[in-house]
Each structure stands twice: as C-alpha cells, then as structure tokens.
Amino acid sequence: MQRDLVERAQRGDREAFGTIAEQSIDHLYDVAQLMLRDSDLAKDAVQEALIVTWRDLRALRDPDRFTAWMHRILVRCVYRAATHERRQAAVRSLDVTGAAVLPDSTRAVEDRDQVDRGFRRLKPELRAALVVHHYLGLTYDEAAEVLGVPAGTVKSRLNRATAAMRAELDAEARSREPMAREAIR
Amino acid sequence: MTAPIDADRTMLDYFVARSTSRAPDGLLDSALTAIDSTRQRPAWRSVGWWVSPASADQFAWHGRRVALVAVVGLLIAMVAALAVLSTSGHHLPPPFGPARPGSIVMEIGGDIYLAGPDGGNRIKLYAGAHWDGHATFSPDGTKIAFESALDDKSTALMVMGADGTGPTTLISGLAGVDDVIAWSPDSRRVAIGARPVPDPGTPMFPYSESRIIVGDAEHGTASFVGGSDLFGNDPRWSPDGSVLVFGRCCSGPSDGLWSMRPDGSDQRRLSSVTHAGAPAWSPDGTQIAFLGDGVDGDSDLYLVGADGSGERKVTDDPGDESFPVWSPDGTKLVFPRMLDQYNKAELHILDVTGGRVVVLHGKNVTYDQPVWSPDGAHILAYAYSQPDNPQHASEYDALAIFDVTDRSKPVVVQVAGLRTASWQRLAP
C-alpha cells in the first residue's frame, strides 16, 4: 500500500481512502470468507472493517504498518461476524460463487471436502490462525500482531487447529478403508 | 494405519482452492457509501493511540468482558448497599405524610436531650454555655435545628446531626427569635423569624422588627431575605419547598398573611386578617391554616387556599386558639384552645372536611404548639403538674402523650424543666 495514500487518508482525504479500499477489498473479502466460510458474513465483516479502518485511521502512528493494522481490524470484525453466526444458529449454504476453479482430480476434491468439514468445525480463532499462517504466509510474530495475541498463543492455536484437522482427516480415511475393501471384494 | 498428513501443504491447497479472486459486486460501493457518512475519530479517542497495538487488541478484546464484570459487580454492590440500608434503618422518610415515629428531641432546663418514643431514656445531646432550645427535627429525621444563647445575650440559629454531632452556627446576633424553626421539605434549609441585635447604644425594641431568615443547613450559612423593609414572622415552607408563607403584624396596611419565594422575591398577600401568624401548610399544599384576630379581639383559626382564595374562619368563639398543626394525612387539624388566664388549654381536633371538632381529654396542657406523631397515632403537648396552683401556672413540667385513636386520657411523663419537643420522622 502506498504510504502517501495512507497519509492523505489520515488527513481526511476520502478519495485517497477510496483508492485504498478499492485496492484492498478483494484481498480482504478473500481472507474473510476463508475464515468465515460464509459470503454474507464475509461481506459484513469486510464492510465493517473498512469503516473502522477509516474511522480510526488517524490513530495509526506508522503508515508503513497499515496493511498489518488493517488485517488486525479485519480479524476483529471476522470474530464479531462469527459471533453473530453462532447466535443466528442458522444453516447457511456455503457460497462458492466466484471461487477459483482449478484443475483438480477427484481425489483432491474429496480431500478438500474432508478438510472443509474439519475446518468448519473449528472455532473462529483457530480458523483465523490457520488462514493468516498458512494462506497469508505470516510468521508467528506477524500472525500474533494481526490476531492480537502473543506469538505463543498463535503457536498453540495452530497446534490445536492442526491436530483437530488431522483427527478429522484420519477419521475420514478410516471410514473410507472398509468401503474400499468392500468394493474390491 | 493412515499416512502422515502434511498440514502445511494440505491447508495451503485447501485455502488456494477456496480462495476468491474478487469481492462480490456492490460490496465496495456499499462500503464507501457507509464511509461517506462516517467521521474520522481524533487519534486520542482510539485505544491504539495510547497503548501498543497488542495491548490495544487485548483491551478491545476483553473490553466487553470487563464491562460485563463491572456491571455485574456494580449491581451486586447496589443490592448489597440497599440491603445494608434497609437493615440499618438509614433510609429516609418522605418529606411529608405519615412516617414511622423515631426519637423525641426535647429542651429540658436549657439543654437539648434525646428521648425514646415514649419520652423516656433521655440523654443529653447538646449543652452550650447558656440556654439552648426549640430543637426541631428535620423532615428526614437526620438533623436537628435549634437556638442557642450566646455570651453577648444574642441568640444563634444552629444545626447538628440527629445524634448531636457537628453543631454548626448558621447565623448569630439575633434577638426576638420565633419559637418554631421551620425546616424545608428537603431538609436542607431552615427559616425563622428574628430581628438582628442592633448596635450597642441603640434601642432594640420596638425599632428593630422581626424579619425572615433563611438558612442553608448544608453549607452552614443564613441571611435575612426580602429586603430591609420586609418585616414578618412565623415563616413556613410549602410542601414543594418553593414558597414561604409568613405573617406580618402591627405595621398597618401591610398586615396579614403573606407568601414569597425563599429568596424574598414575588411577595404576595394571601389574607388581610390582622395579627396573622402561626401558618401551617396542609400536606398536599392546597390549604394554609393560620391564626388571626377574631371579631371580638380574640385569636381565631382560619383556612385559606394556597393562592389566597377561599378564606374562611374555622373557629369563632370567645376563647383564643393557638398554633394549629395538621395531621400527617392532612385530614385533621389539632390546636390548643385557651381556657383561662393561667395559660391552661385543651386540645381540639378539627376534621377539616366534615367540620366536626373533638376535644381531647385533659385540660392541663399549655398553648404551645403541639406535636403530631409521624404516624398520626399520638399527639404530644406540654402539661402542668400543678394546674390549680397559680404560683406554678407558668412552670409546666410534664409531657402529655395523647392517643388519638381512642381519645383516652393522656399518658403524662414528668420532665422537670421541659419546654419544647420535636418528634423524629423515620422511613415507614
């Protein structure tokens, strides 16, 4: 993100912030929907994150830290949206509209479905840790800054999330083996 | 046995497959529209300006939990405080209307004593260098106003706590002080009629007439109100505390019953009855009972509306009536009716709506202002222990406690040196 855009926006330049929003929104939405696995909630979280970013922008001391700062705001908004999701307790359809369609094998699709089931069962905090570490590629320290928790907490969340995912995939694999033996027979 | 899972590889593949290349249409527009109506906060209003980002996150993340804990703690504290107050009896009664009877404060032998509701178990509360008296409980039962004689023979108006603590002089250098100190309904102010002691060498009486003093019991101050040419006595507060009614005497055309704001403004004459005095507001604030001259020169009881309308004479007999007092429920008036030249009197109770008068048994009370108990069940009056001995006629020395409900003879409690009494009001 260009530093001068951030500085202009900090001085109240709405046009500059519009440019920032335009450049950021695809990425913000991508991250939010990965964490939330719900397009409506992701849209709510992104819109709120942009509003909060604009509202509190003058409190950002170092414009070079803007991206990490905005990610932190987005994560908080995702948590809030996830809370809303839990309260609604409604069955939402997974919106995959706009998802990248990649060449894929049947087995790979099955694996991702298993991962998806496991991922959806995780708490929002664990999902967020997985996204910022594995997808955004942030180090523990960088993830800690974005998630607003100590680096040690990031590690423990990743461990818990990975263990939960591994257990899910193991269970799926075990359930497939008898079916395969049955098919061979 | 399943093969080990490469978590990094698996998750990355999963996220890449589920990622999106662009946000839904309209999201940017709706966000920018919302931003257009959002003002930027000054930097200092954000937590992040004051603390590190990590601390700010911790603060924001735990803020709701902390607020919830604070609210719950506050509620618990409030409930505990209410429980303590309700059990300690420190909650206050309403400013007027029936209340629970508490202690009785008395002037005995020039000092101030506190007694139980039956007049017994007396303890000395205050004893100045000279005479102290006319002690009067505030409507909320927490303070006592009284008069105290000073070395220069002037009188001071003072207040203290109901337990005798913190005596404070509101004003001193007074003479000709009224017998009754009037508390405002909110128990914060007092009013009384008195005249300032003139400079040495100048005659005190009759050149210095009684004027109205309003004192602030909270801040320990008092001053004359209404200007130097406003003479009057017996000020009494309206139940809402917005008006003082008082009598003006002996000054010719301006004689009568008057009202004014507590700061002395908005003076109005409510009645032109001569020698008007001893006014008493009904608890609902609609009527004022007062004494004034009768046709044959005696003192009769009058009623007038708070705005001066509907004046009527309630008693019209040859004898003198004295200080009227409303029952706490506002349905009755009690007043002493004088019987002979020795200041002996009997108590009459007037049903204000029906007009019926009941005479209480016992003809040895004085003409001093009686005291209706806060619950309306009893009336205190002062009695002579030797009513038929002219030599002792001016020395009453007993407290007569009348039971209003059965109108039997009063219980008489001998209290040598007794002068005045006031009954503490407590929350029901």
How far A76 CA lies from chain B's nearest CA (Å)? 8
Within-domain flag for B231 = no
Cβ contact, residue pair A169, B14, below 8 Å: no
* pLDDT for position B395: 61
How far A16 CA lies from chain B's nearest CA (Å)? 12
Within-domain flag for B359 = yes
What tokens were used for B404?
């209003």
Cβ contact, residue pair A135, B48, below 8 Å: no
List the end-to-end C-alpha distance of chain A, in Å, as a whole number.
Answer: 60
Chain A positions touching B5 (Cβ under 8 A) are 165-166, 169-170
Tell me the pLDDT band of B388, cut-offs 50, 70 and 90. Answer: low
Chain A interface, mutation test: which of B27, B46, B50, most A Cβ atoms within 10 Å?
B27
Tell me the pLDDT band of B165, cut-offs 50, 70 and 90. Answer: very high
B366 or A49: which leads in pLDDT: A49
- Asked whether the predicted pLDDT for residue B182 surpasses 90, the reply is yes
Domain containing B16 equals 1-51
Within-domain flag for B100 = no
Residue B215 β-bridge partners: B190, B222
- Helical axes A14-36 vs B27-36, angle rounded to 10°: 130
How far A30 CA lies from chain B's nearest CA (Å)? 5
Q: Tell me the pLDDT tens digit for each residue of A84-108.
A: 665 554 444 333 333 333 344 455 5
Mean pLDDT of B220-224: 94
Within-domain flag for B420 = yes
Is the four-CA dihedral B224, B227, B229, B232 of positive or negative sign?
Answer: negative
Q: Which amino acid is at B266?
A: D
List the end-to-end C-alpha distance of chain B, in Å, as a whole number.
Answer: 80
Tell me the pLDDT band of B270, cut-offs 50, 70 and 90. Answer: very high
* Residue reference for tokens 């000092």: B111
pTM of structure: 0.56
Is the four-CA dihedral B146, B149, B150, B152 of positive or negative sign?
Answer: positive
Measured CA to CA, the distance from residue B386 to residue B395 in angstroms comes to 9
Q: Which amino acid is at A8?
A: R
Which of B51, B70, B85 is the C-terminal boundary of a domain?
B51
Chain A positions touching B60 (Cβ under 8 A) are 76, 148
Q: Tell me the pLDDT tens digit for each residue of A109-157.
A: 556 677 788 888 888 888 999 999 888 888 888 888 888 888 888 888 8
Measured CA to CA, the distance from residue A7 to residue A4 in angstroms comes to 5
Cβ contact, residue pair A99, B20, below 8 Å: yes
Mean pLDDT of B264-291: 92
How many residue contacts between A and B have a Cβ separation below 8 Å? 155
Cβ contact, residue pair A25, B2, below 8 Å: no
Chain A positions touching B48 (Cβ under 8 A) are 56, 59-60
Asked if A116 reaches chain B (Cβ–Cβ under 8 Å), the answer is yes
Mean pLDDT of B259-286: 93
Cβ contact, residue pair B41, A58, below 8 Å: yes
* pLDDT for position B353: 85
Q: Mean pLDDT over all residues of chain A?
A: 79
Tell me the pLDDT band of B52, cut-offs 50, 70 and 90. Answer: low
Asked if B121 reaches chain A (Cβ–Cβ under 8 Å), the answer is no
* pLDDT for position B49: 59
- Asked whether the predicted pLDDT for residue B392 surpasses 60, the reply is no
Chain A positions touching B35 (Cβ under 8 A) are 14, 17-18, 21, 50-51, 54
Number of domains in chain B: 2
Residue-wise DSSP of A87-156: HHT-------TTB------HHHHHHHHHHHHHHHHS-HHHHHHHIIIIIS---HHHHHHHHTS-HHHHHH
- Chain Cα centroid distance, residue B59: 48
> Out of A43, A99, A165, whose CB is closest to B18?
A99
Cβ contact, residue pair B19, A30, below 8 Å: yes
> Out of A34, A37, A170, whose CB is closest to B2?
A170
Within-domain flag for B333 = yes
Helix (H) or strand (E) holding B270: strand B268-271
Which of B36, B51, B66 is the C-terminal boundary of a domain?
B51
A7-11, B61-65, B288-292: lowest mean pLDDT where?
B61-65
For position B351, which CATH number holds? Answer: 2.120.10.30
Measured CA to CA, the distance from residue A42 to residue B22 in angstroms comes to 12
SS (H, E, C) B190-214: EEEEEEECCCCCCCCCCCCCCEEEE
Chain A interface, mutation test: which of B35, B37, B62, most A Cβ atoms within 10 Å?
B35
Say yes or no: ipTM exceeds 0.85.
Answer: no
Residue B364 β-bridge partners: none
Chain A positions touching B39 (Cβ under 8 A) are 55
Within-domain flag for B311 = no
Measured CA to CA, the distance from residue B5 to residue A172 in angstroms comes to 13
Distances (CA, A) of B125 to A174, B131, B382: 90, 13, 21
Within-domain flag for B40 = yes
> Nearest-CA neighbor of B348 among B377, B313, B322?
B322
Within-domain flag for B176 = no
Asked if A111 reaches chain B (Cβ–Cβ under 8 Å), the answer is yes
Nearest-by-CA chain A residue for B9: A134
> Nearest-CA neighbor of A42 among A86, A79, A91?
A79
How far A72 CA lies from chain B's nearest CA (Å)? 8
Measured CA to CA, the distance from residue A184 to residue B27 in angstroms comes to 51
